[in-house]
Amino acid sequence: MASMLLSDCSTSATARLVPLQRRISVLTSQLRSQVSLPWGAVSPRLVHSSGSRFQSPCTVASAMSTDTSAKIIDGKSVAKQIRDEIAGEIVKLKDATGVVPGLAVVLVGSRKDSQTYVRNKKKACEAVGITSYEANLPDDSTEEEVIKQISLFNNDPSVHGILVQLPLPRHMNEENILNAVGIEKDVDGFHPLNIGRLAMQGRESLFVPCTPKGCIELLHRYDVEIKGKRAVVIGRSNIVGMPAALLLQRANATVSIVHSYTKNPEEITRQADIVITAVGVANLVRGSWIKPGAVVIDVGINPVDDAESPKGYRLVGDVCFEEVSKVASAITPVPGGVGPMTIAMLLSNTLSSAKRLHNFQ
């Protein structure tokens, strides 16, 4: 996960590489004329007096402007629709079999962000009728203690899904711990057998990782054709980028993966009809990276300082929404895009698991 970032598009190395002409959007050019400086020299403080910290002109503008041409892919409302569908199916499962799906979350340590995610998952479970179980282990737990807890959940018939909240404390070997989750309860889809099957022709994994699955579900629900299209995934992590690329390829897109060693990310990304970004760098993807009419799915969740927000920060994606929404045909917002879909897919995987384990169609 990215730590707190202060992103300034105008002075970042990426921004400097972007041809000036392509970086000019209606609002940004207005800002430039207000301060009469070359764009690269604009201090956001000149145009945004309320905050004392350096802010990205891109994100400042998006907070002020509603002038977008792209369709907004509303993950929040799609996720709500999916949760309603799941709640209905859980009632049917319970009525027919008496089975109530159960999700167990293993949280090691006391990271505030992880605690918040776990709390939100718990609430989402309760709202659809999934029983949630939680194991909180201290930061200094041993790998064996965590694996022992996972084994207890593996052997508990009321638990149909097990999620180990990431990141784990540094002293732990993530691979050993994720390998301990029984594949038939691996609702995160992080077990190497599940990921491996995703990568192989003609094989089906028991579970598909929730965030990439949510991205594809959004594309389907918004009737975005994937087959035969060029897709670029920015980021190649085990939990988002890599499985997202595999899923796009399985849906017959031609896929390129951009990562931190990619020499010409802008040029490669500009070839894509579909872009999925999962990087953890606020405003990395500028308008000039996007082919006109492309569909952009922004997975990034990046906190940026915001003196006006009660929390002192707000969340932005990897995409400079203000610029990209003027070039793309459709785009997910942050928040309210992929995040809620991740949770909805987790509930969906837990329900599927309960059905599979109890042979319910």
Ligand X SMILES: Nc1nc(=O)c2c([nH]1)NC[C@@H]1CN(c3ccc(C(=O)N[C@@H](CCC(=O)O)C(=O)O)cc3)C=[N+]21
Q: Which two structure tokens, joined as six digits, stand for 151?
A: 């084994």
Residue in 126, 78, 124, 82 with CA at minimum distance from that of residue 100: 126
Contacts with ligand NDP by CB under 6 A: the residue count is: 28
Q: Which residues are tagged catalytic?
A: 121, 165, 188
φ/ψ of residue 319, rounded to 5? -105, 140
Residue choice 2, 4, 96, 307 for contact with ligand NDP (CB under 6 A) = 2
Q: How far apart are CA 7 and CA 305, in angstroms?
A: 9
Burial of 65 by CB count in 10 Å (0-12 exposed, 13-18 middle, 19+ buried)?
middle
Which residues of this protein are in contact with ligand X, per CB under 6 A?
Answer: 117, 163-166, 188, 210-211, 301, 315, 334-336, 339-340, 342-343
- For 12, the token pair is 């970042």
Q: Which of ligand X, ligand NDP, none interacts with 146 (beta carbon under 5 to 8 A by kind)?
A: none
The least CB distance from residue 156 to ligand X, in Å, is: 19
Nearer to ligand NDP, 141 or 165 (CB): 165
Residue 189 lies near ligand NDP (rule: CB under 6 A): no
Q: Which of 258, 274, 285, 331 binds ligand NDP (CB under 6 A)?
A: 258
| Encoded amino acid at 164, one letter | V
In the list ligand NDP, ligand X, none, the entry touching 19 (Cβ below 5 to 8 angstroms by class) is none
Q: Which of the residues 296 through 335 are near ligand NDP (CB under 6 A)?
A: 299-302
Smallest separation (angstroms) from ligand X to the CB of 346 = 7
User: Which positions ≥6 away from 90 have C-beta within 8 Å?
Assistant: 100, 101, 128, 129, 130, 351
Interaction partner, residue 276 (ligand NDP, ligand X, none; CB < 5-8 Å by kind):
none
User: For ligand X, which is the closer residue by CB, 117 or 289?
Assistant: 117
With contact defined as beta carbons under 8 Å apart, do 104 and 353 qualify? no
**Mask of contacts with ligand NDP, 26-65, x by CB under 6 A?**
----------------------------------------
Report how far residue 164's alpha carbon sits from residue 253's, in angstroms, rounded to the nearest whole number.
31
CA 3 to chain centroid: 15
The residues, any chain, with a CB within 8 Å of residue 148's CB and separated by 6 or more, are none
- Of 276 and 343, which has the nearer Cβ to ligand X? 343
Does 75 engage in binding with ligand NDP (CB under 6 A)?
no
The DSSP bridge partners found for residue 133 are: 104
Task: Quote helix, strand, coil % in the chain, to nearest 5.
Answer: 45, 15, 40
- Given 260, 292, 293, 312, the residue binding ligand NDP (CB under 6 A): 260
164 touches, from ligand NDP, ligand X, none (C-beta below 5 to 8 Å by class): ligand X
- C-beta separation of 236 from 244 below 8 A: no
Whether 104 contacts 153, CB under 8 Å? yes
Positions in the binding site for ligand NDP (CB under 6 A): 1-2, 211, 234-237, 239-241, 258-262, 265, 278-281, 284, 299-302, 338-339, 342
